[in-house]
Amino acid sequence: MSRTGKGNLKARYGTWALVTGASSGIGREFARELAAAGLNVVLVARRRTELETLTAELKARHGVDCVVHALDLGNGDSVGFLEAATADVDIGLVVAAAGYGTSGAFLDADVPDELRMIEVNCRAVTELTHVFARRFAARGRGGIVLMSSLVAFQGVPRAATYAATKGFIQVFAEGIRRELKPHGVDVIASAPGPIQSGFGERANMSMGMSQGPEVVAKATLAALGRRGTVRPGWLGKLLEASLAPLPRWGRTRIMQQVMAGMTPTTGKKATDSVRR
Ligand SMILES: NC(=O)c1ccc[n+]([C@@H]2O[C@H](COP(=O)([O-])OP(=O)(O)OC[C@H]3O[C@@H](n4cnc5c(N)ncnc54)[C@H](OP(=O)(O)O)[C@@H]3O)[C@@H](O)[C@H]2O)c1
C-alpha cells in the first residue's frame, strides 16, 4: 500500500480533516472519501442545509463525527472565525475546495463579481493555508489539498480572471510544497479537467464531456504525499496531453476556441446567489 493510500490517511494525518466547499461537487466527494477512511470532518460552505444533510449521511454510513460551519469565505473575517472555532480540534488535513468560476468577455465583466471570486478562490485559500500550515508545522505533520485546474497552465480567453485565480493556486501550491516538506507537511495541487458539479451552472459554462467529482477526490488523496500536482481522471489527462506539446501562446489560442464553444455570447448571466 502506498504511504498515503486511503487506508492510512488517518494514520498519517490524524483523526480530523477540514473540507471547504463541502456542500457540493468536488468538496462533498472529498468529505465522503475522508469519512470512508475513518476521519472526522469539519464541513465548510455557505449552505447549511446541504452540510447538515451530508453530516447525516457520513455519520450513518461511516460513524464519524462532523462539525458544520456555514460561512461565506468571501467575507474577510471568515478564516479568522474558522481558526478560532477549530482551535481545540486536532485537524491534520485540509482540503480547500470552495471556489467558483465566471465566464464571458472581459470587457463585459461584472468587476465586483470578479473581485469577489478572487477573494474566495485566492485570498481565503491563502489565509486558510497559512493558518493550517503553521498548525501542521507545529505538530510535525499534515496535508494540504489545493484546487487548481486544467485552466491554470495558460491564459484562457472568456474565463481570463477565473483561469488566473487557478494559476495563482497552482504556483502557490508548488512554492509552499517545497517550503513545508521539511516540516512534515504534504501539499498537493489538484488540476482536473471538466467535472460534473455545480461549477458549470455558476460559471455559465456548458461542460459537455465531463467526469464525476469522485475521480478528483480519489486520485488526489491517493497522490497526496507522493506528488506535487495531480491531474485526476482520464479526460483531464487527455486534454493536457493534447495541449502539452504546444507553446504557451498556442495553448491559449486552443483554449480560446474551446471556451467559445463552452460559453454563450448572449443569454442569462449566472449570479452568485446562494442556492438554497
Ligand atoms: N468542476 C470543474 O470542472 C472544476 C475543474 C477544475 C477545478 N475546479 C475547482 O474545484 C473546486 C470545487 O468546485 P466544484 O466543481 O465542486 O463546484 P461546485 O459543485 O459549485 O462546488 C463549489 C463549492 O464551493 C463552495 N463555495 C462557493 N463560494 C463560496 C463562498 N463564498 N464561501 C464558502 N463556500 C463557497 C460552494 O458552497 P456554497 O454554495 O454552499 O457556499 C460549494 O460547496 C473549485 O475551486 C473549482 O474552481 C472545478
* Closest listed residue to residue 113, CA positions, set 153, 162, 77, 152: 162
Asked if 166 is an active-site residue, the reply is yes
Domain contains 76: yes
Q: Is the CB of 74 under 6 A from ligand 1?
A: yes
Q: What pLDDT was estimated at residue 188?
A: 98
How far apart are the C-alpha atoms of 217 and 215, rounded to whole Å?
6
Q: Which atom of ligand 1 is nearest to the CA of 21?
A: 43
Is residue 77 predicted with pLDDT exceeding 60? yes
The three-point CA angle 65-68-71 to 5° equals 160
Per the CB < 8 A criterion, the answer to whether 125 and 18 are in contact is: no
Which of 10, 59, 162, 181 is flagged as catalytic?
162
Q: Considering the domain boundaries, does residue 180 fall inside one?
A: yes
Q: Assess if residue 164 is contained within a domain.
A: yes
- Please report, for the domain that includes residue 57, its CATH number: 3.40.50.720
In a domain, 257, yes or no: yes
**End-to-end Cα spacing for the chain:** 41
Phi, psi of 185 (to 5 degrees): -110, 125
- Number of domains composing the chain: 1
Whether residue 273 lies inside any domain: the answer is: no
**Domain annotation covers residue 144:** yes
Return the pLDDT at 264: 81
Angstrom distance (rounded) from CA 75 to CA 257: 35
**Sign of the C-alpha dihedral computed for residues 74, 112, 197 and 243 taken in this order:** negative
Q: How far is the CA of 25 from the centre of ligand 1 (A)?
A: 7
> Is 276 inside any structural domain?
no
Range of the domain at 51: 6-262
Other CB atoms within a 10 A radius of the CB of residue 273 amount to 7
| Residue 267 forms part of a structural domain | no
The crossing angle, in degrees rounded to 10, of helices 124-139 and 160-180 is 10
Helices (H), the chain: 9-13, 25-36, 48-62, 78-85, 111-118, 124-139, 160-180, 199-203, 214-223, 234-243, 248-262
- How far lies 208's CA from each of 54, 73, 161, in Å? 27, 29, 21
Cell of 221: 488523496
How confident is the model over 51-65, as pLDDT tens digits?
Answer: 999 999 999 999 999
Cell of 27: 468538496
- For the chain, what is the mean pLDDT? 93
Distance CA 141, CA 124 (A): 22
Q: Is the CB of 79 under 6 A from ligand 1?
A: no
Query: How remote is the CA of residue 1 from the centroid of ligand 1, in Å?
Result: 31
CB-neighbour burial class of residue 209 (10 A; exposed 0-12, middle 13-18, buried 19+): exposed
Ligand 1 and 162: CB distance under 6 A? no
Considering only CA atoms, which residue is closest to atom 17 of ligand 1? Answer: 199
pLDDT of residue 3: 46
Query: In this predicted structure, what is the pLDDT of residue 275?
Result: 40
Proportion of the chain above pLDDT 70, given as a percent:
93
Q: Is 100 in the active site?
A: no
Confidence of residue 208 (pLDDT cuts 50, 70, 90): confident
| Burial (0-12, 13-18, 19+ Cβ within 10 Å), 128 | buried
Q: Is 31 in the pocket of ligand 1 (CB under 6 A)?
A: no
Q: Residue 142 Cα, ligand 1 centroid: separation in angstroms?
A: 23
Q: Which three cell numbers stand for residue 136?
A: 501542521
Segment 4-41, tens digit of pLDDT: 455 599 999 999 999 999 999 999 999 999 999 999 99
Pocket flag, ligand 1, residue 180 (CB < 6 Å)? no
Check pLDDT > 50 for residue 47: yes
With a 6 Å cutoff on the Cβ, whether 25 touches ligand 1 is yes
Q: What is the pLDDT of residues 218-243, one digit of tens each?
A: 999 999 999 999 999 999 999 999 99
